[in-house]
Amino acid sequence: MGNLLEEALTRSIIAAFFAVYNTLGFGLSERIYLLALEQELIARGHTVDIEVSVPVLYRGVLLQSQRLDLLVDGRVVIEIKATPVLHPSASQQLYNYLRLTTYQVGLLLHFGPEPSFSRLIHTDKH
């Protein structure tokens, strides 16, 4: 194994993503993929939290809460998209989740016509 942050965990999540995609294919709702991925990850021995609410603060003031699609083993944030074309802002959305929380690693999983994923990190926590 290399030196990527959370490498073993992200490899397991990506394998689970492809297992779900290969079983269900393209064209279902994000919610269905989320629930299937939850089951696949649990079967692989992971703990999974769905729609985790995290506070968004501005200068110490709570603006509102934001929901993360999935949090795996309390360490990796998962954002799921199931659109025909991945919107260019999807990666920035996940990056902002990492920037605004204590989590350092995120995976953007696109259940599109062709499955794809992006791995993002943010380690500069002030």
What are the tens digits of pLDDT across the range 61-103? 999 999 999 999 999 999 999 999 999 899 999 999 998 888 9
In a domain, 50, yes or no: yes
In a domain, 126, yes or no: no
Domain count for the chain, please give it: 1
Model confidence at 56: pLDDT above 90: no
In a domain, 29, yes or no: yes
This prediction has a pTM of 0.91
In a domain, 22, yes or no: yes
In a domain, 1, yes or no: no
In a domain, 75, yes or no: yes
Share of the chain above pLDDT 90, in %: 83
Model confidence at 126: pLDDT above 60: no
Return d(Cα 48, Cα 66) in angstroms, integer.
17
In a domain, 14, yes or no: yes
Query: Is residue 54 a contact partner of residue 101, using CB atoms and an 8 Å limit?
Result: yes
What six digits make up the tokens of 93?
A: 């959305």
For all residues of the chain together, what is the average pLDDT?
Answer: 93
The whole domain housing 42 covers: 7-121
What Å distances lie between residue 24 and 27, 34, 87, 98, CA to CA?
A: 9, 12, 22, 29
- What residues contact 80, with CB distance under 8 A and at least 6 apart? 30, 33, 34, 37, 69, 70, 109, 111
